Amino acid sequence: MPSPTASSFQGQKIVIIGAGLAGTLCAIMLVQRGARVELIERQDFETGADYGNRRSFNLTISSRGAAVLEAAGLWPRIKARTIPITGRMCHDGRGIQKFPYGRDESFALHGCRRTDVNAELVAAAREYESLTLRSGYTLDGIDKRNGAVTISPVAGGASETITDADFTIGADGVYSTMRRLIHRGERADFNQHFLDWNYREVFIPAGSDPDHPWVMDPNALHIWPRGDLMMFALPNPDGSFTGNFIYPSDRETDFQVPGLMGDLFRREFADVAGLLASPEETLKATPPSYFPTQRNTKWYHGDRFVLLGDAAHATVPFYGQGMNSAFESTAELIRCLEAVEPAARAKAFATYQAKRKPNTDTIADLSMTNFEELRSNFKHVMPKARRRAEVVLSRLFPKHFVPLHVQISHSLTDYRQAVDDCARRDRMLRWCGLDLLILGFAAIDLVSRGFARLSTAPAADFSDLSSAMGETAETSFGLAPGDSMERRA
Ligand code: FAD
């Protein structure tokens, strides 16, 4: 591990609640800068007891996340736990087709199990003497007057109060206790919105060939677009795949009707069902999970408590940016703290929120739009046509026309800035006939659909155009705006 290179936090003790992705990375970056860190985690890493009922979904790391990990000297060891995802593989019911993310491997995303990334970060954290990891403890309370933090063992036992911390970071995830405690008695807006869809994990086991255990392309995000139903799957290093079956939340009770959801799954996702011993059992193996978006107006209290990651800005995963954005927030928080004397910490917290919130609100909006577009695009030609126009423009003018989703997944430009830049550019292009180009593609699409309907043979329709052109990079685990469900990447 790199030894501490700076001493900007020398002599400070910092408590972090939550040894998830952002909390553990933040702990490492702070000890690298001279701080002493006490990292408190509800799960018991020693016994494996999972008090948070965590699921082990997969995710993709894009440029933003990789850049922060690189700066912390952690990217090589995290990257070693990932699989390059070079495109998306669409199982549209008529066939399977791969859409590369870009012209070369540099556009690959890095697919991994969330638990693997977390385990690697925790292993790295354990290598620092000045970092104390206390797993199996939960946050009970905070004292806003003196900055004290009370924790207690989840398995039972006496609580204890930490009184010597300079400040405490709440990185305790989407249903953050720290956020609730900070907001208590304050003038703080908090908004939580759930999608009308739930998801369940679908574990697809490895095949029997030890030399090539993957039963599908291991370098792809697999997607099964089915209107209101959807499924995605990412590969695991052992040859298995972890998928998410997404369904309208009002169908939750259908899981109680014997055979109903199993039959539906067999009908809609026949190729996956064939890989499972029992779709019913697979679907019942994990509880339903939800898709919340959370926004709040108060990320800190005074100079003693501050929120990080999902605790501050949880978003739905349809742009594949939740963790990537949490890592960017980590880097920003540290930058803001380093820019001031400890006495001005409250100012640093305010600057951190002011810099990050417009960006995290933007990615939350984009992620929601993506989900909506994803569903409607399945039926509509215009967004598809727009996407094709973008492909053409980005190939003709690669320096001047970088699609928004490429800026989100493959650049370090602030989310807000990227959206503003693209809106400005699109306004200009509209003057130059962008809308005509889009209409042209829509017409081609409609004509090709007409021909495909007339033909009995599975025609190569124009939706393959972008792939035939060597399609430019798409987004990460999330879906690019203008992507249809077929284009989930
Ligand atoms: P977490 O990783 O959730 O960590 C919070 C930690 O706090 C946990 O360890 C928890 O046990 C602990 N904790 C909670 N309460 C307490 C307490 N009271 N006391 C002590 N400890 C506590 N992001 C991407 O960038 N790319 C993707 O492709 C992607 N795909 C996703 C797919 C799905 C299905 C989902 C659900 C999310 C996806 N995300 C993705 C989002 C990403 O997982 C989150 O944004 C990320 O995990 C946030 O990190 P965090 O550290 O803030 O929270």
Instruction: Give pLDDT, residue 2.
Output: 46
Nearest-atom index, ligand 1, CA of 23: 51
| Rounded distance between C-alpha atoms, residue 138 and residue 156, angstroms | 10
Average pLDDT value over all residues in the chain? 87
CA of 302 to the centre of ligand 1 (A): 25
Q: Is the pLDDT of residue 283 over 90?
A: yes
Q: Is the pLDDT of residue 315 over 90?
A: yes
Pairing of strands 167-170, 13-17: parallel
Q: CB-based burial of residue 477 (10 Å sphere; 0-12 exposed, 13-18 middle, 19+ buried)?
A: buried
Instruction: Give pLDDT, residue 487.
Output: 30
Stretch 44-62: mean pLDDT: 77
Q: What tokens does 98 get? A: 């791969």
Regarding the beta carbon of 489 and ligand 1, being less than 6 Å apart is answered no
Tell me the pLDDT tens digit for each residue of 379-418.
Answer: 566 767 777 777 777 777 777 788 888 899 999 999 999 9
- Three-state secondary-structure class, residue 47: coil
Tell me the pLDDT tens digit for each residue of 170-195.
Answer: 999 999 999 999 999 999 999 999 99
Tell me the pLDDT tens digit for each residue of 330-379.
Answer: 999 999 999 999 999 999 999 999 999 999 999 999 999 988 776 665 55
Query: Across the strands, what pairs with 369?
Result: none
The gap from C-alpha 438 to its chain's centroid, in whole angstroms, comes to 30
CATH (one of 3.40.50.20, 3.50.50.60, 3.40.50.300, 3.20.20.140) for 13-82+114-191+295-370: 3.50.50.60
Q: Whose CA is nearest to atom 53 of ligand 1?
A: 173
Regarding the beta carbon of 21 and ligand 1, being less than 6 Å apart is answered yes
pLDDT above 90 covers a percentage of the chain that reads 67
List the chain domain ranges: 13-82+114-191+295-370, 193-290, 380-487
Sign, CA dihedral 202-21-87-437, equals: positive
| Rounded distance between C-alpha atoms, residue 289 and residue 292, angstroms | 10
CA of 454 to the centre of ligand 1 (A): 48
Say which residue, 449 or 386, is predicted with more confidence.
386
Q: Is the pLDDT of residue 24 over 60?
A: yes
CA of 441 to the centre of ligand 1 (A): 40
CA of 102 to the centre of ligand 1 (A): 28
